[in-house]
Structure 1
Amino acid sequence: MQLPSRLRLSGTPFGEREFSRLWFFATVTYGVGDVMTTIALIGFSDRVREANPLIRAAVETLGNAGLVGLKLAVFLTFILVSVDAAQREGRIFYYLPPVVLTVLGTFTTVYNLRLLLG
Structure 2
Amino acid sequence: MSRSRDRRRRRPAYSRRPQQFYWLWIAATATYGVGDIVSTIAFLEYVPTIQEANPIVAFALEAFGLGGLVALKIAVYLIMLSISVHGAREGDGLLYYFPPVLLTVVGTYLTASNVRLLLLS
Q: State percent identity of aligned pairs.
A: 44
Q: Number of matched residues?
A: 109
Tell me the residue number matched to 1:5: none
Which ranges in structure 1 are unaligned for 5 or more consecutive residues? 1-9
For 1:9-48, list aligned pairs within 5 A: 11-14=11-14, 15-48=17-50
For 1:20-99, list aligned pairs within 5 A: 20-99=22-101
The CA deviation at 1:13 is 3.6
Larger radius of gyration: 2
Q: For 2:36 and 2:68, locate their aligned partners in 1 and report how far apart those are by CA, in whole Å.
A: 14
TM-score, scaled relative to structure 2: 0.86
TM-score, scaled relative to structure 1: 0.89
Aligned equivalent of 1:102, options 98, 101, 104: 104
Which ranges in structure 2 are unaligned for 5 or more consecutive residues? 1-9
Q: Map Cα deviations across residues 7-41 of structure 1 (whole Å, 9 max, x no partner).
A: xxx82244211100000000000000000000111
Q: Map Cα deviations across residues 61-86 of structure 1 (whole Å, 9 max, x no partner).
A: 11100000000000000000000000
Q: CA RMSD for the aligned pairs?
A: 1.2
